[in-house]
Structure 1
């Protein structure tokens, strides 16, 4: 196509914006239903803004940076990719309030903000979205479902000797500082369904009614799925039913649930010398219909660009996994509001 065939128009930018609105900008729905000012206030409470040095460039508003973190996690973008998208995409600039800004937060600014607020700031965002859900009546109902998923990170290719040192919390003396910074000594390997995975683990508690994450715990991948069971139990759920798959049953857990007033809806696991009875199989099948709802949560996380995180170290992994849970709930809340789903 010859460039001369395209007619310039001084109002083209506004026309493009109007076209986006006509087609339906998905970010406009988030803007409409989420109170980002309230979320920013919660972040500033746990991680106060640092005063800018005299003569230095003023920091971007916390609300702008929170919006950037949400976009980054909803689309599983790296800091570099987020910087590019902010420069390139009209809808991103508008959502973050940067349409008329001469400068755009770069990758270093995004990285620095994440480090400033840390896991406490990410948890404040999770709690903030949770508060907005509760304010609209979307409380935890109809029982709770507990499960865990592996959050992969880029695999580490270490020699046998290096792996032994890492297990001891050490590093080879000839490992250069730049290479050392790229070694994730906190992530671990685990096997699931015969496949090996490297990374971390996210345990969640989802309410049966709305499929909202009510509690969560983060850890390294090698930790057992059931190790966080008690930590993610939600005492606020309106139902006593607790659902989980065959990786969670034990006599001690059965007793704990009974003593604490919960109804045990954990699937049973057969043994080589003691297979499940027909009644137990029917019970497992009944429980599976409800327990499967948690798989919808993990599927949505995959749709948000995949569950893999590009971080190094437990602290940044915890931050990233907390943002995964936060953005899932945010997306769920917007869905309720967009489709006029009433809480009851």
Structure 2
């Protein structure tokens, strides 16, 4: 650990750890940094023999990138936070006394390099490999679901148009403009193993096959996945689907022994499906991801996949710490 500047040591007298400090400490303990750096280090340029502008380490930039996701910060806001917030500088491994602070351009270029090399998917795969090794993801069953992510609908931009890769859709009596995040989660732990991002008007059932990892015996979905087992891409699959009954049909069940039995079965399926809502709650409520930040599906998909990888570690953090999975 670097020696801290004298200007920062006075904060050591603060008697109480803040919520942000506790959160960053927990996440620092459970993120498999060494394994992730194998994926990230090759995409971060090193300082050449002729000198030039300082190149920040890949680990520092990855730590900053993760803080952007956790605290819903834009590139300029992330730069300002590094100047203003001591605990963020410490988490990134920076010391204001002798280090430069990455500016918003450096943060943006690092994010673009991650997107260009498809690192977000690799991060999710590596995080899940750690969870499987720790026995936290069993892969015997999968729950599938989707959530709408709003996109800015304003046309006050250089093109005078809304994002052409987003779309509007109607849910209930309301119209939404944006994209849709489809996920497949482990039926036992509720941890996400598959992510697909589409325009908002894409039907959930069309993406169901892409959310299965191929090893599950059972799959669960809400009423939006009715007829999934009849689709061509699922023919010959040994996976058994358990899809919710449509609400109107369920409300019309007769008050008979058979009707009550069917209703109890639907309640049991709903209790299993409830676990798929946990990752959505984490990225929307804990991480504050309520609206897309970038134009185009590719950039937003990279961010969404990273968010679900981080949500897996957040959901499993206490079990990982108890198991002694403290990674450098």
Alignment correspondent of 2:103: 106
TM-score by length of 2: 0.83
Whole-angstrom CA distance in 1 between matches of 2:313 and 2:49: 35
Q: Once the 2 structures are TM-superposed, how far is the Cα of residue 284 of structure 1 from its aligned partner? A: 2.1
CA distance in 1, matches of 2:13, 2:124: 33
- Is residue 62 of structure 2 the alignment partner of residue 84 of structure 1? no
TM-superposition CA deviations, 1:89-109 (whole Å, max 9, x none): 111101111125431111111
Correspondences of 1:195-206 after superposition (within 5 Å): 195-206=174-185
Q: How many aligned positions are there?
A: 310
Change (3 A) 1:48 1:13: closer
Q: CA RMSD in A?
A: 3.0
State the 1:19 CA deviation. 3.4
CA contact (8 A) 2:152 2:162 kept: no
Partner of 1:317: 300
8 Å Cα contact 1:212/1:332 also seen in 2:
yes
1:146 aligns with 2:144: yes
Q: Which residue of 2 aligns with 1:156?
A: 154
Q: Closer, same or farther in 2 for the Cα pair 1:62/1:284, shift >3 Å?
A: same
Deviation at 1:132, TM superposition (A): 1.9
Question: What are structure 1's unaligned runs of at least 5 residues?
Answer: 1-9, 159-177
Runs of 4+ in 1 over 6 A off after TM superposition: none
- Structure 2's unaligned 5+ residue stretches are none
Answer yes or no: is the 8 Å Cα contact 2:131–2:137 preserved in 1.
Answer: yes
Deviation at 1:194, TM superposition (A): 1.9
What's the TM-score, normalizing by structure 1? 0.80
SS at match of 2:50: coil
**Compared with structure 1, are the counterparts of its residues 56 and 182 closer, same or farther at alpha carbon in structure 2 (3 Å cutoff)?**
farther
> C-alpha separation between the residues in 1 aligned to 2:305 and 2:44?
19
Change in Cα spacing, 1:20 to 1:220, as seen in structure 2 (3 Å) is farther
Tell whether the 8 Å contact from 1:140 to 1:214 is kept in structure 2 after alignment: no
